[in-house]
Amino acid sequence: MKKTPYIRLDKDDAAVLLVDHQAGLLSLVRDIEPDTFINNVLALADSAKYFKLPTILTTSFEEGPNGPLLPELKTLFPDAPYIARPGQINAWDNKDFVKAVKATGKKQLIIAGVVTEVCVAFPALSAIEEGYQVFVVTDASGTFNEITRQSAWDRMAAAGVQLMTWFGVACELHRDWRNDVQGLGALFSAHISDYRNLISSYSVCGTTKKAA
């Protein structure tokens, strides 16, 4: 098997594409628990906000059964490019979407969406063909079942797409805790209960040491 080189995410050269996190499509996600999935999507979105990454929102046929975009995403990114595709299944087939991606000037694309084997895989594979470095956030992308998910992962990985989790994305973008302990800790605490306990313990110990 050919070894794929390690390409690190760079916060100065990355953009986030949130594809089709729509009310109707969200009802199809069965490979991740609903509450966990929404938390992961918002964790990725909060990470994009924290690292000030250009973010693009897109929907597919939202006037039909796919439904409107998750409202929290609109709230988080009120000024982000919002591409409501009239019918194209592959977002990369929409000229406005591709134009918005190219306008970021970034070569690394962090992609998540619903459903994994279509709304995520199609633009991810298309972007790879265009020469972009593509990172798919697996736990912020959902689909019907584990078999479908694995098939999508295999196809994308074979084409050179890197598969990551939102937590891995945040850590690789941050690089060094000393850059901002409190900020990254707050981000993790907001979305991982165990990490909230860890940070609380750290804060208490820090206060105790200062008092001593």
Give the count of beta carbons closer than 10 Å to the beta carbon of residue 159: 13
| Stated length of the chain | 212
Distances, alpha carbon 41 to alpha carbons 17, 37, 192, 198, in Å: 12, 6, 13, 22
- 128 by Cβ neighbours in 10 Å (0-12 / 13-18 / 19+) ranks as middle
Q: Is 171 a catalytic residue?
A: no
Of 9, 56, 57, 119, catalytic: 119
Contacts of 153 (CB under 8 A, 6+ apart): 116, 138, 163
Rounded to a whole number, what is the largest CA-CA distance in the chain?
A: 64
Angle at which helices 193-211 and 181-191 pack, to 10 degrees?
140
What residues are labeled active site? 119
